[in-house]
Chain A
Amino acid sequence: MIYLDNAASTHPKPVEVYRAVLQQLRENGANPGRSGHDLSMQASETVFLARQLMGMLFGASEQNIIFTKNTTEAINLALRGLLKRGDHVLVSDLEHNSVLRPLVSMKSEGIEFDIVKTSAKDKETVEHFIEALRPNTRLILCTHASNVTGQILPIRNIGHICRANNILFGVDGAQTAGIEKYNLSHDPVDFLCVPGHKGLLAPQGTGALILGKQIEMKSLILGGTGTDSLLWSQPLEFPEGYESGTLNTPGIAGLAEGVRFILRYGDTIRAHEKKLRQLFLHKISEVSGFYPIGEGEDFVGTISVVHESDHSETIAQWLNQHGICARGGYHCAALAHKKLGTEDLGALRISFGYRNTEYDVVECVKILNKYQNNRVRS
């Protein structure tokens, strides 16, 4: 089996991640941050270690890392926590449905948004954001990299515009956390939404909303925080005030090890995945009937191709029958597929991970070539 669906969830994970999850499950099932006994305190230490390591990787303070179950929850928390009636939001035309759908739903609450056209050229993308600003623009939320084409957007340049105009800037790091570098102490980014289970190589059910500085914000989930238990109202202390309910401690133990792995090997992984993308791009150009989509100045290790006439799900099925896991369809990205003109056939997405090899690329292209040859013959 060749796994090329790392943009959806990375697989496999480093062995240290499996070990940490299992160890936490077997040796300490206590609830972190709730009791004063030794096991609960040790569980709290596990969670705090993960916050420290995340803080090192993203240049953020431990208390500014709010654990969520995925990027989507982090985005929802930020949007619903920060926005109020009358606010205007700008997003790119490459956003995931995790950005689009909450904003569409919030229209009925008096929150407006506009979709900004991105370009292959970073400078043009930035200019489009400037042109779309309104006096009531409160937030720009932008993906760092498209989950369809892998194109990296110029988030720091967009962030500087936000700083200059006193606008909040949020980044969807679903495809870049663990891949691209961040330092929220210096970057012009107010918040970053990240998954644990993708580039950070952690288990599913982990993610975070990471703040550069604490911002006044409502909480999405209200309940137990382990503090001020006699109060009837939610204590909005960072981070626990935004993490009500028992945390996914085994997952977070795995997240700590995934982040530790990235701190050690992240640079190598980034270069490796980009190299595989380049190789795929080169090899697929030799196969008739398939065309890569998306342009840009820089990319993560994700690429999508369309077939001249067949639906992407058919081709993904073909790959699956030949032992290759890749994703067809629309990738929960209505905006991106509208922009790319792929709403009819969707796109076949190939996304590389740290364990993929050049052999995987060659094998995948070979199977795609076989598909085309069979099709031509029949």
Chain B
Amino acid sequence: MKSKCIAVRSVTYAQKAKSVLSQNGLSCSIIRRPQGTLTGCGWCIALHSDQVKKATELLRNNGVKLSGEIYDLP
């Protein structure tokens, strides 16, 4: 299964994102932002790559601030 992660602006937004997505039937988990980013530590929401588009829309509609980066997970 291919997975991706959506970067969010803070751990609070990560938890809010998980709560919003779970309420909408999307399975996800909170992970640390993958290595190699310029600004250092951060938080992401990991989920199945097929669900990224729907998740992004849900998060934006529910006031979750995204960092604008989406990473592939191994």
Contacts and interface: CB of A to CB of B under 8 A. Distances in A.
Interface of A: 32-33, 35-36, 41, 44-45, 48, 51-52, 61-63, 225-231, 237-241
Contacts of A51: 12
A235 B25 CA distance: 32
Interface string B28-63: 001110000011111100000000000000000001
A228 B41 contact: yes
Contact of A32 (B11, B31, B43): B11
B10 A44 contact: no
Given A36-B31, A239-B10, A63 B16 contact: yes
Q: How large is the interface on B (under 10, 10 to 19, 20 to 34, 35 or more residues)?
A: 10 to 19
Interface in B17-31: 19, 30-31
28 contacts: A33-B12, A35-B32, A36-B32, A44-B15, A48-B12, A48-B15, A62-B12, A62-B15, A62-B16, A63-B10, A63-B63, A63-B65, A226-B10, A226-B41, A227-B10, A227-B40, A227-B41, A228-B39, A228-B41, A229-B40, A230-B39, A231-B39, A237-B9, A237-B10, A240-B10, A240-B11, A240-B12, A241-B10
Nearest to B13: A63
Contacts of B40: 227-231
Given A35-B32, A63-B63, 19 more contacts: A33-B12, A36-B31, A36-B32, A41-B30, A48-B15, A52-B19, A63-B65, A225-B10, A227-B10, A227-B42, A227-B43, A228-B40, A228-B42, A230-B40, A231-B40, A237-B10, A237-B13, A239-B12, A240-B10
A226 B13 CA distance: 12
Given A48-B15, A231-B39, A61 B32 contact: no
Contacts of B39: 228-231
Interface of B: 9-13, 15-16, 19, 30-32, 38-43, 63, 65
Contact of A230 (B13, B15, B38): B38
Looking at B15, B30, B39, the one whose CB has the most chain A CB atoms below 10 A away is B15
Contact of B15 (A35, A45, A225): A45
Contacts of B43: 226-227
Ordered nearest first, which 4 A-B pairs have the shortest CB separation? A230-B40, A229-B40, A33-B11, A36-B32
Contacts of A48: 12, 15-16
Contacts of A227: 9-11, 40-43
B36 to A, nearest CB: 12
Contacts of B32: 35-36
B11 A44 contact: yes
A231 B38 CA distance: 9
Nearest to B38: A230
A45 B19 CA distance: 11
Contacts of A33: 10-12
Nearest to B16: A62
A230 B42 CA distance: 10
A254 to B, nearest CB: 19
Looking at B9, B11, B30, the one whose CB has the most chain A CB atoms below 10 A away is B11
A226 B12 CA distance: 11
Contacts of B41: 226-229
Contacts of A63: 10, 12-13, 16, 63, 65
A366 to B, nearest CB: 51
Contacts of A52: 19
A61 B13 CA distance: 11
Looking at A32, A63, A227, A229, the one whose CB has the most chain B CB atoms below 10 A away is A227
Nearest to A239: B12
A146 B15 CA distance: 37
A35 B42 CA distance: 10
Contacts of A237: 9-10, 13, 65
A28 to B, nearest CB: 15
A41 B9 CA distance: 16
A64 to B, nearest CB: 9
A342 B54 CA distance: 63
